[in-house]
Amino acid sequence: MTQKSGVKEQAKDILEETLDREAVIVLARISEEMQLLFTAHPEPSRDDVERIVTGYFLENGKSEQFIDDWIKTSREYSLTRGLSEQDQPKAMLSDLGVFRFMNFLKDKGLTDEQITIVLTGAVEQAASDHQGPSEGE
């Protein structure tokens, strides 16, 4: 357990050292936007997700080729994770959130290693928040 909290602490340290208050607000906004998407689409269809992803990337000036490649890569990644057809659209939405976080952190100058630590810490934090405090096993 100490290693898990160690990653969370490392992630927190990296964010505190490299991001200003405005950047932290942007990350929170990305998180809130993704939560709203999941709330609005609790069981999204593939068409829903492709429309959401396409809209997001078009708004951000990405080409249709980029969008097609991104969707294809996300689908392939879902398959390699062994996700069912039903779970793949949710995974694609989740991938969009991860992509947005990674892109923002990269724009802020974090290294790939720092981004990996931050994302790992965020995943562990979300998992522990979702599970709540565990009692003796």
Which CB contacts under 8 angstroms, 24+ apart, belong to 15-23?
Answer: 15/118, 18/108, 18/109, 18/110, 18/114, 19/108, 23/104, 23/108
Q: 52 with 41: CB under 8 angstroms?
A: yes
Asked whether the predicted pLDDT for residue 135 surpasses 60, the reply is no
Distances (CA, A) of 121 to 45, 64, 86: 29, 33, 27
pLDDT, position 130:
57
pLDDT for position 21: 85
The pLDDT, as a whole number, for residue 126 is 67
The answer to whether residue 33 is domain-embedded is yes
Domain-located, residue 18: yes
55 inside domain: yes
Q: Classify residue 134: in a domain, yes or no.
A: no
Q: What is the pLDDT of residues 11-52, one digit of tens each?
A: 888 888 888 888 888 888 998 999 999 999 999 999 999 999
Q: What pLDDT does residue 18 have?
A: 83
The reported pTM is 0.79
Q: How many domains does the chain have?
A: 1
Q: pLDDT, tens digit, for every residue of 40-89?
A: 999 999 999 999 999 999 999 999 999 999 999 999 999 998 999 899 99
Q: Is residue 54 part of a domain?
A: yes
Does residue 136 belong to any structural domain of this protein?
no
For position 95, what pLDDT does the model report?
92
Asked if residue 58 is part of any domain, the answer here is yes
pLDDT class for 105, splitting at 50, 70, 90? very high
* 128 part of a folded domain: no
Q: What is the pLDDT of residue 2?
A: 43
Range of the domain at 9: 2-121
